[in-house]
Structure 1
Amino acid sequence: MLVFSEKITVSQILKFQQQLIEAFLNSTDMSEENKESPIVPVSMDSWVEWFRSVAPHIHSIRGKTIVIDLAGETILQEHFSSLIADISMISAIGARIVLVYGVRPQVEELMSLKAIESQYVNGIRVTTADALVCVKEAAGEARLDIEAAFSQGLPNTPMAHSQCRVVSGNFVIARPLGIIDGVDFKFTGVVRKVDSEAIHRELDGGRIVLISPLGFSPTGEAFNLTSEDLAASIAGALKADKLILLTNVDGVRRFDEVVTELTAEDAREFINDKLVDEEDIYNLTFALKALEHGVERVHIVPYAMDGGLLAELFTHDGVGTMMTMENLESLRQATSDDVSGLIKLLEPLEADGTLVKRPREKLERDISHFTVLEHDGVIYGSAALYQFPEEKLGEMAALTVDAAYQGFGDGERLLRHIENQARKAGLNRLFVLTTRTMHWFLKRGFRPAGVDDLPIEKRRLYNWQRRSQIFIKDL
């Protein structure tokens, strides 16, 4: 049985964003003035359903180290204060945050005001002594703006009752980039070493670590660093769970469509064969660097989207591109370890009568018949194949995709997999019993059938009270 229901959308996530923040912050401060929340949900049932749907994501990032790279343009966005509130909330629920920021547009503005000419080679700034003065000025001003944003605390705002503590320091030792192809990059530098122990101590104390795009040499010189490279280096040194690149693109695009998930192998192919544009290659290069240094996941998220960071972290599909070393999603044979996950998936549908109830003992006995869809450790789809070799018939049962994951063709994937299994077993027809999704099967080549068309064993077990409709498909 394939079950469809309404999916919680990204727009709903963003709509309820303020309510989530207020609900969480007020839960930690139940003084009289906080007991009356100014937030009134449009639909309490929808809000509760949504809040519960993000709970697994909240649990998944608690205690995790997340490095976030803010492009300099991000600081200039109208919703910058909202972004800082989002980061504050993510920190408040237990994530360990390192915030790296860039200042390219700010430096460009200062250099223009001072009539200093900018010079780039292969997208990297040649930092002269005069340009370095502008970098220092821009970095200092941006740091103050970010710290000020974290210090907000007006009532009835997402930052109310927030107690974020932000620390900065000389955590990064740098060296000059040097002379490349005859070009002297002067005070442009690269990361030589990250003081990961010092950063971890600050994170252990519950503080957000803020790192500017400047590194320092043992001789006391300052070097201008590319924020993306800096963030990737820090994430690798910390063995961070996530690196998030807030960029001016909405994700990696292939054939003008955002690729929501990429493996490191895919990224190398995109770069080597130039299958994506230069901007994507630029971002993928640093994402790969982080993955190759032990970071579990890299997210490329558009900074122009208000709430994009929350949508990426707290929804299944996110809003940008997520990269991992290996594919997180798998369609595979179920094992005994999957019984609890299957129970959680099937139980609600058994409770409302959509599926026939299967006791745990039966699931344990039948587990070898099941195929599951798993994403990031969560069982979100299933189907079972029961064979009747004498009649060369197969029954597909418990074809189910969790409501939050529907609309992406996973039902068809499971169906095709079961059909292939049946063919390999020498079966020539597949049948299903359903009470809810007759039209779905009709559209996929099944035809109505009767009880007499069932295998003899199944005929004896047919439940005349449920009166399930029978559909058969030739393989």
Structure 2
Amino acid sequence: MKSSDNAQNIQWFRDAAPYINQHRGKTFVLYFSGAAVASPEFDHLIHDIGLLHALGIRLVLVHGARPQIEARLQLENIAPDYAEGLRITNIESLDAVLEATGRLRVIIEAKLSLSLTNTPMSGSKIRVCSGNFITAKPLGIRNGVNFQHTGAVRKVDSTAIQQLLDAGQCVLFSPVGYSPSGEVFNLRAEQVAGETAIALSADKLIILHDSDSIPDLPAQLTPQDITPRQKAALSAELQKDLECAVHAVNGGVGRAHLIDRFSDGSLLRELFTRDGSGTLISSGHYEDLRQARSHDVGGILELIRPMEQQGILLRRSREQLELEIKHFIVMERDGLIAGCAALFPYKKDQMGEIACIAIHPAYRGTGRGDTLLKYLEKKAREQGLQQVFVMSTQTMHWFIERGFSEQSLDNLPVEKATLYNYQRKSLIFMKPLSN
């Protein structure tokens, strides 16, 4: 292995360490389709699942079976029947469902049991458990269509599942459920995954989708962010996946992830890198904009030092920053200070100075500077200030484009004007605040 590759791998492990610690002991529900199981890449996914288990993550796996059911129906010369995107399961096709899902479950269990030397599963000891944890109900008659043995999740036995997870077992679900009267129902695997995640109050629902891209969706969303236009641009299957993810988050699941199953290692990149590989849906913002605290001083200094060395920002000592920390806000992205800015009020003059706007190099050009500026302008209004000002030597045009205009030193608050650095020769820009 080249030394550069070696260094890159070492750095990857170091960068992943916070996520390994963060995920240990957490409950993840992972859905993958029947097409994923049939693909040549499925062994890689199994290896990644084995790694997650080895890292102490509590796993519930839910598999789909559509292509396998279709193949079984074709073998039996039974024509598939659909309505509203759902399979109509009569008694003949139910047999095909049970045959296909049962066989598929055994195949998955066998792959998870692999522990051959010289494979990524070497030394792994994954105990897989399946059972009648899903109570189902008939979907019934909808819009005049009798779905017969197609059902919906009625209840999930979360207590029994938690006991198995506590014992270190991996729980595997097939898309079937059982009624108290002993009937069996064919279920949508995505719904099984979503309802199970809700019942367990899972930390994550992870959906490995069958589309090789998610058009027009950002890397992170809240349920309220999703626009009709974005949803309409998705395929019918992706729309269902998205609805499942949103339903789970609204039901109390910490985060839901939509990940492209075709990209090798996408599951690991999503879970163990800062920028992930898919679309994250959460009830709150993955990137928190908040008041800075004393423990943020080190992260802020690390962020602003290069800009101070370039003369873009005025140099601040650690002691000065510790004294000023109450005036700072930070943009935190999974433990990294991705941005910062400060608002120093001069209430006697009804003015405020916006200072030290800094964005991590990896996130420049993404609108985060605008977000910080708008947030501080909002804070200034809330404090009753009438205008804000900045002092700049290199970023003048950025502020001009955002409504600031150049002013003279005489327009500064007296307290600030007396401290003006004539060697630095910063230009002064002001912006009135509308109510």
With normalisation by structure 2, the TM-score equals 0.83
Any stretches of 5+ residues in structure 2 without a counterpart?
A: none
Structural mapping, 1:68-467, within 5 Å: 68-249=30-211, 253=215, 257-267=216-226, 270=228, 278-332=236-290, 334=291, 338-347=293-302, 349-350=304-305, 354=309, 356-359=315-318, 362-375=320-333, 379-386=337-344, 396-418=354-376, 425-427=385-387, 429-432=389-392, 438=394, 445=400
Residue 185 of structure 1 and its aligned partner are, at CA, apart by: 1.5
Residue 71 of structure 1 and its aligned partner are, at CA, apart by: 1.1
Residue 318 of structure 1 and its aligned partner are, at CA, apart by: 2.4
Deviations 1:270-320 (A, max 9, x none): 399957553343223222332232212111112122111112222333222
- Determine if contact 1:449/1:470 at 8 Å carries over to the other structure: no
Between 393-402 and 80-89, report the one with greater CA deviation. Answer: 393-402
Residues 416 and 432 of structure 1: CA distance in aligned 2, closer, same or farther (over 3 Å): farther
- Determine if contact 1:329/1:374 at 8 Å carries over to the other structure: yes
Matched to 1:71, the amino acid is S
Residues 348 and 52 of structure 1: CA distance in aligned 2, closer, same or farther (over 3 Å): farther
- Determine if contact 1:396/1:432 at 8 Å carries over to the other structure: no
Tell me the equivalent position of 1:470.
Answer: 426
Residue 412 of structure 1 and its aligned partner are, at CA, apart by: 3.7
Any stretches of 5+ residues in structure 1 without a counterpart?
A: 1-38
- Determine if contact 2:408/2:428 at 8 Å carries over to the other structure: no
Matched to 1:279, the amino acid is E
Q: Tell me, in whole angstroms, the C-alpha distance in 2 between the residues paired with 1:152 and 1:462.
A: 70
- Determine if contact 1:450/1:470 at 8 Å carries over to the other structure: no
Tell me the equivalent position of 1:10.
Answer: none
With normalisation by structure 1, the TM-score equals 0.77
Residue 227 of structure 1 and its aligned partner are, at CA, apart by: 0.1
Residue 192 of structure 1 and its aligned partner are, at CA, apart by: 2.1
Q: Tell me, in whole angstroms, the C-alpha distance in 2 between the residues paired with 1:448 and 1:48.
A: 49
Q: Tell me, in whole angstroms, the C-alpha distance in 2 between the residues paired with 1:463 and 1:271.
A: 51
Q: Tell me, in whole angstroms, the C-alpha distance in 2 between the residues paired with 1:313 and 1:47.
A: 16
Q: Tell me, in whole angstroms, the C-alpha distance in 1 between the residues paired with 2:303 and 2:193.
A: 43
Residue 145 of structure 1 and its aligned partner are, at CA, apart by: 2.2
Residues 207 and 363 of structure 1: CA distance in aligned 2, closer, same or farther (over 3 Å): same
Matched to 2:67, the amino acid is P
What number of residue pairs does the alignment pair up?
422
Residue 390 of structure 1 and its aligned partner are, at CA, apart by: 9.0
SS in 1 for 2:56: coil
Residues 352 and 374 of structure 1: CA distance in aligned 2, closer, same or farther (over 3 Å): closer
2:19 is the alignment partner of 1:61: no
SS in 1 for 2:199: helix
Q: Tell me, in whole angstroms, the C-alpha distance in 2 between the residues paired with 1:462 and 1:45.
A: 47
Q: Tell me, in whole angstroms, the C-alpha distance in 2 between the residues paired with 1:202 and 1:428.
A: 58
Matched to 2:295, the amino acid is S
Matched to 2:100, the amino acid is A
Matched to 2:385, the amino acid is A
- Which structure would you say has the larger RCO, counting Cα contacts within 8 Å and 6 or more residues apart? 1
Identical aligned pairs, as a percentage?
40
Residue 370 of structure 1 and its aligned partner are, at CA, apart by: 1.3
Between 372-381 and 47-56, report the one with greater CA deviation. Answer: 372-381
Residue 245 of structure 1 and its aligned partner are, at CA, apart by: 1.2
Residues 51 and 455 of structure 1: CA distance in aligned 2, closer, same or farther (over 3 Å): farther
